[in-house]
């Protein structure tokens, strides 16, 4: 896989709305490459060439796919209709035993006794001072 194809794949898989940073793209590609030696100069050149050709859009320090590149990627990834394989006969379904109904649970409702209402305290009359 070329670096440009790897960059396109990384950007589409990362699905960042504001674009993917070059570091995130690099980490994603290195994880996908496995044992191959990483060529940073080629990676940076592929990013710059992609921006110059219009495949990528640079937003601050992030990269997005251009609308033209998105439509091209969708066309390539659209699955081609394959010939239908001959259908095999389905295995006969086994009869399942009817399920037993669970015993109904007993409901024990606990009623709380209403607390007796407290009488309002009456105010004591104070003696008038002369």
pLDDT in tens, 76-111: 655 555 555 556 666 666 667 666 666 666 666 666
Note the pLDDT of residue 37. Answer: 86
pLDDT in tens, 14-71: 888 888 998 999 999 888 887 788 888 988 999 999 889 888 889 888 888 888 777 7
Work out the number of other CB atoms within 10 angstroms of the CB of residue 25: 25
CA gyration radius, the chain: 37
Using a pLDDT cut of 90, give the percent of the chain over it: 4
The Cα–Cα gap between 100 and 107 comes to: 21
Alpha helix segments (H runs only) across the chain: 3-14, 22-33, 40-53, 67-77
Note the pLDDT of residue 130. Answer: 65
Residues in the chain, how many? Answer: 130
pLDDT at 114 over 80: no
pLDDT in tens, 26-42: 999 888 887 788 888 98
Regarding pTM above 0.75, the answer is no
């Amino acid at each position: 896989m070329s670096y440009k194809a790897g960059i396109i794949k990384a950007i589409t898989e990362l699905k960042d709305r504001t674009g993917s940073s070059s570091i995130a793209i690099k980490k994603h590609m290195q994880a996908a490459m496995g044992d191959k030696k990483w060529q940073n100069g080629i990676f940076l050149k592929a990013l710059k060439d992609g921006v110059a050709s219009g495949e990528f859009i640079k937003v601050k320090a992030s990269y997005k796919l251009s609308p033209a590149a998105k439509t091209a990627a969708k066309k390539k990834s659209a699955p081609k209709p394959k010939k239908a394989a001959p259908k095999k006969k389905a295995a006969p379904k086994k009869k399942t035993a009817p399920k037993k109904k669970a015993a109904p649970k007993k409901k024990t409702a606990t009623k709380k006794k209403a607390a007796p209402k407290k009488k309002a305290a009456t105010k004591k009359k104070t003696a008038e001072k002369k």
